[in-house]
Amino acid sequence: MNAPLEGMKVVTLAVNVPGPAAASRLREFGASVTKVEPPGGDPLEASNPAWHRAMATGQNIVALDLKDEGDLRELASLLENADLLLTSNRPASLARLGLSPEDVAGKYPNLAYVAIVGYPSPRENDPGHDLTYLADYGLLTPPDMPRTLLADLAGAERAASAALGLLLGRERGFGAGYAEVPLSEAAEAFAAPFRHGITRPGELLGGGFAGYNVYRTSDGWIAVAALEAHFLAKLLSELGLEKADKERMERIFAEHPSSRWEKWAAERDLPIAALEEPE
């Protein structure tokens, strides 16, 4: 089967994480991607070259100084032949470059436009990063730092979805369109389980249910996710327990290493996984 975006051309000005992750997803859907980087390069390349390289795989990288009139004209030529523009700059900065939604719609009526921002209007120019968006919605547990960039990557998926929606709408005759994707709203959406209480400490998915929990083993930890009744019944039967008793399960799981429990669970079609430390 052909990729759904085959033949579509994307121009992205977005650097750091959310924009490049979104552009990478669009490339996976078949789009050809031209990434415009500032003369100093993408800041992510300096901090993590391997990830920068992975997300830019298959893309055409062009270095342009958008404060230079000649380079700005080169960007204009790229946009004339593009189907989608992706940005993650502050809207005020883009407006100074003649790349506000109104400017782009006037100059390039066939160009769909997705802008990744930090906060929705009227805070679209306020500074922020993944850490502050998570802090806004109670998704941090100090002093531990988060193990992933949840808001950035959730926002990237939302940006890719918005791009698909705009391009589909354009093909159906609704015009190119513009979509703004606030990273703070992505964090808010992913905070829904916590906001509604189901993952709060002591609640069903927050350690309050023995069948859905983490347990120490003789050499590490395992995650046990026997949430559905049939999984729980089978788990208890195999462990020789009459009910889900967390203290008794702690003692049982502590008797053997994680790998043994993982193999034991696989043989019994039970959802148990050893916790792996990232390399």
Task: Tell me the mean pLDDT in the region 120-138.
Answer: 94
224 and 188 co-located in one domain: no
Q: Which of 193, 215, 250 is the last residue in one of the domains? A: 193
Which of the 8 DSSP states describes residue 8? -
Domain range enclosing 248: 204-274
The answer to whether position 137 is within a domain reads yes
The answer to whether position 27 is within a domain reads yes
Q: Which of 151, 173, 193 is the last residue in one of the domains? A: 193
47 and 128 co-located in one domain: yes
**CB 37 within 8 Å of CB 46:** no
138 and 257 co-located in one domain: no
> Tokens 């980087």 — which residue?
37
Confidence grade of residue 39 (pLDDT, cut at 50, 70, 90): very high
For residue 25, is pLDDT > 90? Answer: yes
Task: Tell me the mean pLDDT in the region 20-45.
Answer: 97
55 and 112 co-located in one domain: yes
CATH number at residue 260: 3.30.1540.10
135 and 76 co-located in one domain: yes
Q: List C-alpha distances in Å: 273 to 52, 75, 94, 219, 255.
A: 30, 49, 46, 14, 16
The answer to whether position 279 is within a domain reads no
Confidence grade of residue 109 (pLDDT, cut at 50, 70, 90): very high
User: Which residues 6+ apart lie within 8 Å of 101 measured at CB?
Assistant: 113, 115, 178
176 and 210 co-located in one domain: no
The answer to whether position 199 is within a domain reads no
The answer to whether position 198 is within a domain reads no
Burial class (CB in 10 A: 0-12, 13-18, 19+), 234: middle
47 and 92 co-located in one domain: yes
Between CA 61 and CA 69, with CA 64 as vertex, the angle to 5 degrees is 150
The answer to whether position 1 is within a domain reads no
154 and 213 co-located in one domain: no
For residue 77, is pLDDT > 80? Answer: yes
Task: Tell me the mean pLDDT in the region 93-97.
Answer: 95
Q: Which of 244, 204, 205, 211 is nearest to 225 (CA)?
A: 211
215 and 97 co-located in one domain: no
- CA dihedral defined by 207, 210, 212, 216, rounded to 10 degrees? 80
- Sign, CA dihedral 230-236-242-247, equals negative
170 and 89 co-located in one domain: yes
Q: Domain total for the chain?
A: 2
Burial class (CB in 10 A: 0-12, 13-18, 19+), 92: exposed
Between CA 18 and CA 90, with CA 29 as vertex, the angle to 5 degrees is 25
For residue 142, is pLDDT > 90? Answer: yes
187 and 228 co-located in one domain: no
CATH number at residue 37: 3.40.50.10540
Q: Which of 193, 228, 260 is the last residue in one of the domains? A: 193
pLDDT in tens, 212-234: 999 999 999 999 999 999 999 99
103 and 140 co-located in one domain: yes
